[in-house]
Structure 1
Amino acid sequence: MISSFFRYRVGIAGAGAFAEFLAGALAPLPSFQLAAVAGRTDAKRQRVIDAYRRRQPQAGDVREYREAEQLIVDPHVDIVILTTPPHLHAPLAERALEEGKHVLLEKPGGLTAEALRANIQLAARQNRALAVNLVLRYHPLTEAVKQLIHRALLGPVDYASLHNAAHRVAKGHWFWDERRSGGIFIEHGVHFFEVGRHWFGEAVTAQGFALREQDGTQPRVGATVIHENNGRRIPVHYYHGFTMDPAASESTHWDIHTKRGRIVLDGWIPTQLSVSGLVTDEEAACIDAWLDAIPTKPSADAIEQLQQAADRLLPPTEPSAAPRRPYERTVVLSDRHGWYEAIAQTRFLDFCRLIENPSWRVLVTAEDAAADLSLAETCTVTDKAVDPLDIR
């Protein structure tokens, strides 16, 4: 399993809701010790510390700083996790790397791919580990979809779409200030570009749009990206809307259409995978064996279990003249929060292995994150946003 051989003293810079989640999620790991928190208010810092101590009641003191720069120079911190707004990612990561810290960045890792790549180069010169906290590929259902696609068990992919409908972020939040967030694709969409690149191949062309509201915000954005995988080009449409009433249910939905069927993945943290189409008996047996191998309980080694099962259960698929029959099956995973914690843990442990072995191939590299950010930049529309009143 992915594991770490050492205990790391970790400082979290940025004391918002995600920092609070992360402190609690990582607390059970023997490799994680929360050593310091930086945040602008006492209350926010305390919430992060409380989340950690609920899972580690015997933990020692956690140092508190108001400014991230104070935490970065703390000699008792080995790893800096940056959970600040995106416009601070690149300069704070640069400062931490110069101080000799290992750095795990919340996504996107910077407002531009150029800035992130500069820090990747700095990390290499400093012999420090750097990664971006992109977690969706660490989820077993995401890996399950990859295997179904790459093994072409339902034929080649023709088209796919990602629909992400989220709650409206409060007015005045830094999320709406593109100088600080970069916009929806940069601040949020990189998660899904990472999955799309993993499933469908690198992007060869991309074009985005944004719809501007009368208050000046752009809560609805979309893009059409042409990915290429082994010479086959696949159009994928990405939509994000931060418009939903807080009382309504959010929804995130991947819909993948293949030559002989359909794959549907539901949930921002995936909870349901549906597979349907025409398959031979041999293909049905392969799909069943693969879906049976999906771990049902959250754990930090779930993704590695599934990757090992892929080699054991799925032989290379060759064209078959055997008759095909309808196939349909759905896998549902409960405990969404538990899975969110598990994939955050796996990401952190993967990062720790990179610290311990610089040649370790992490599942999502810093270079992957830079490619995701570059694609997000290409799809981001600012001064050309569409005014809804101009649509006829």
Structure 2
Amino acid sequence: MISSSFCYRVGIAGAGAFAEFLAGALAPLPSFHLAAVAGRTDAKRQRVIDAYLRRKPQAGDVCEYHQAEELIADPHVDIVILTTPPHLHTPLARQALEEGKHVLLEKPGALAARELQANLELADRQNRALAVNLVLRYHPLAEAVKQLVRHAFMGAVDYASLHNAAHRVAKGHWFWEEQQSGGIFIEHGVHFFEVGRDWFGEAAEAQGFALTDPDGTRPRVGATVIHEQGGRRIPVHYYHGFTMNPAAPESTHWDVHTTRGRITLDGWIPMQLSVSGLVSTDEAASMDALLDAIPKQPSAHAIEQVRQAADRLLPSVPPSDAPRIPYERTVTLSDRHGWYEAIAQARFLDFCRLIENPNERGLVTLQDAIADLALAEACTAAETSSSAR
């Protein structure tokens, strides 16, 4: 994942907390120049600009717009990053593509997979890059899990689960208006469906549920998805609950069970990977080599080191009668904010590669984002019927 050799003039449309984070996170990249911000209030726009200038103080003036449409029409903007509420993603992306801009969408990218597909076809006609800001696969711990699963060092995966307990979003926020957000699976769950599809294969079946609170919101949702990989069917349960008191710690936890062990990954931004099971001495050596390659310091190029280590491993072999020994290993990272910035940078650099090389697919493709959104829609449709019974 090489760095871009160009500097792009970027406009961020939507001046909320994530836009503020993104402006600061991308500022150190030579390829990123914040040219414009669109937001409803002066204060919100200023917070985004300040986050950028703290990291790049000599960058110069940033244009300000009240409306996203005004920013999109600015001829000095090369890339539009859309961080608006999800129901605006489709029309604003369409306008930006028609204006000849490259577009990086905050997830989910649309409220329906068919809308995202239509904008993909428009991007192809316009010869412009279009991507969704799904970042978790750019994290080295997520890549390490993928390699552990792919090489089947502890046997095939039998079952997995994702538990995501988050702070409750304030009453009245657009998050609770499903016509604007799409609901939890569409607005939020696509991040984890992208990881699940990468680790376990495409979804063959999906069934969801939602629990409705007295105020009419549905803050707890779950789904069981049957993934298929290499002819093996893997049930994976996904749970999201936006119910936590703001003073309580949030938690995100993946649990992957194999025929001879277990893999756990902790953190919305993953910070700890634990592996335990029965392995041969050769398998133990390969697992050590893979886990030793995980960088300890945040880097936008971190997954390259994990992939290079995986490429050096011996090919997976069928189970043998070789003696097996207990194996247990934990990798813990620090600097959560630094890692969050690093994976945001990696996603942006990958997007720049799409602009510079039309034949480049990128790590997370728009076809991936469409599949994630289609799965989220299937789980949302199922949860709606389930909650009504």
TM-score (norm 1): 0.98
Q: Displacement of 1:310 after TM fit?
A: 1.2
Match of 2:387, SS? Answer: coil
The residue type paired with residue 207 of structure 2 is Q
Deviation for aligned residue 1:39: 0.3
Matched, 1:72 2:72: yes
Aligned counterpart, 1:367: 367
Partner residue, 2:385:
384
Q: Equivalents in 1 of 2:314, 2:53: separation in Å?
A: 43
Aligned equivalents of 1:207, 1:386: Cα separation in 2: 12
State how far apart, in whole Å, the 2-side matches of 1:306 and 1:130 are.
27
- Report the Cα offset of residue 321 of structure 1: 1.6
Q: 1: CA distance between counterparts of 2:41 and 2:108?
A: 24
Question: Is the Cα contact below 8 Å between 1:162 and 1:254 reproduced in 2?
Answer: yes
Separation in 2 of the partners of 1:32 and 1:383?
Answer: 41
CA deviation profile, 1:287-310 (whole Å, cap 9, x unmatched): 001000111100111112221221
How many Å separate the matches in 2 of 1:132 and 1:339? 19
- How does 1:11-90 map onto structure 2 within 5 Å? 11-90=11-90
Q: What is the rounded CA distance, in whole Å, between the counterparts of 2:62 and 2:187 in structure 1?
A: 29
Unaligned 5+ residue runs, structure 1? none
Please say if residues 271 and 334 of structure 2, whose CA atoms lie closer than 8 Å, have aligned partners that are also in contact. Answer: yes
Partner of 2:181: 181
Match of 1:295 in 2: 295
Q: Is the 2:223–2:238 contact (alpha carbons within 8 Å) kept by the matching residues of 1?
A: yes
Alignment of 1:1-392 (within 5 A): 1-381=1-381, 383-384=384-385, 386=387
Deviation, structure 1 residue 385: 5.4
Q: Is the 8 A contact 1:161 1:236 kept in 2?
A: yes
Measure how far apart 1:383 and its partner are.
4.7
Letter in 1 for 2:387: V
Give CA-to-partner distance per residue, 1:9-62, whole Å, 9 cap, x none. Answer: 000000000000000000000000000000000000000000000000111100
The 8 Å contact of residues 209 and 384 in structure 2, kept in 1 or not, is answered as no
What is the CA deviation profile of residues 254-302 of structure 1, one whole-angstrom value per residue up to 9, with x for unaligned ones? 0000000000000000000000000000000000010001111001111
8 Å CA contact 2:265, 2:274 repeated in 1: yes
Say whether the 8 Å CA contact 1:202–1:229 is kept in structure 2: yes
Deviations 1:231-270 (A, max 9, x none): 0000000000000000000000000000000000000000
Partner SS, residue 47 of structure 1:
helix
Q: CA deviation at 1:317?
A: 3.3
CA contact (8 A) 2:208 2:386 kept: no
Task: Measure the CA separation in 2 of the matches of 1:160 and 1:18.
Answer: 30
After TM superposition, give the deviation of residue 99 of structure 1 in Å. 0.2
> Deviation string for 1:59-95 (max 9, x for gaps)?
1100000000000000000000000000000100000
Task: Tell me if structure 2 keeps the 8 A contact 1:38–1:64.
Answer: yes
Deviations 1:302-325 (A, max 9, x none): 112221221023433342221001
Give the Cα separation in 2 of the matches to 1:13 and 1:386.
Answer: 35
Worse-matched range after superposition: 2-11 or 373-382: 373-382
Task: Report if the CA contact (8 A) 2:86-2:109 is conserved.
Answer: yes
Relative to structure 1, is the Cα distance of residues 279 and 355 closer, same or farther in structure 2, using a 3 angstrom cutoff? Answer: same
Work out whether residues 2 and 346 of structure 1, in 8 Å CA contact, stay in contact via their aligned partners in 2.
Answer: no
Amino acid at match of 2:335: D
Asked if 2 retains the 8 angstrom alpha-carbon contact of 1:290 and 1:314, the reply is: no
Which amino acid letter does the alignment assign opposite residue 347 of structure 1? R
Asked if the contact 1:211/1:385 (under 8 Å) is kept, the reply is no
Q: Deviations over 1:332-380 (max 9, x none)?
A: 0101100000000000000001100011120000010000000000000
Q: 1:185, 1:376 within 8 Å by CA — same for their partners in 2?
A: yes
Kindly indicate whether the alpha-carbon contact (under 8 Å) linking 2:280 and 2:325 is maintained by their aligned counterparts in 1: yes
**Conserved in 2, the CA contact under 8 Å of 1:273 and 1:331?**
yes
The CA RMSD measured in Å over matched residues stands at 1.1
Q: Percent identity?
A: 79
Q: In 1, are the aligned partners of 2:209 and 2:223 still within 8 Å (CA)?
A: yes
**AA matched with 1:363:** L
Structure 1 residues 114 and 273 mapped into 2: Cα distance closer, same or farther (>3 Å)? same
CA distance in 2, matches of 1:57, 1:314: 48
For the 8 Å contact 2:136–2:195, the answer to whether it is kept is: yes
Q: Does structure 2 conserve the Cα–Cα contact (< 8 Å) formed by 1:212 and 1:385?
A: no
Q: Secondary structure at the match of 1:149?
A: helix
Q: How many residues align?
A: 388
How far residue 172 of structure 1 moved from its aligned partner, in angstroms, is 0.2
TM-score, normalization by structure 2? 0.98
User: Alignment partner of 2:155: what SS?
Assistant: coil
Q: Could you report, residue by residue, the CA deviation over 1:176-203 in whole angstroms, capped at 9, with x for unpaired residues?
A: 0000000000000000000000000000
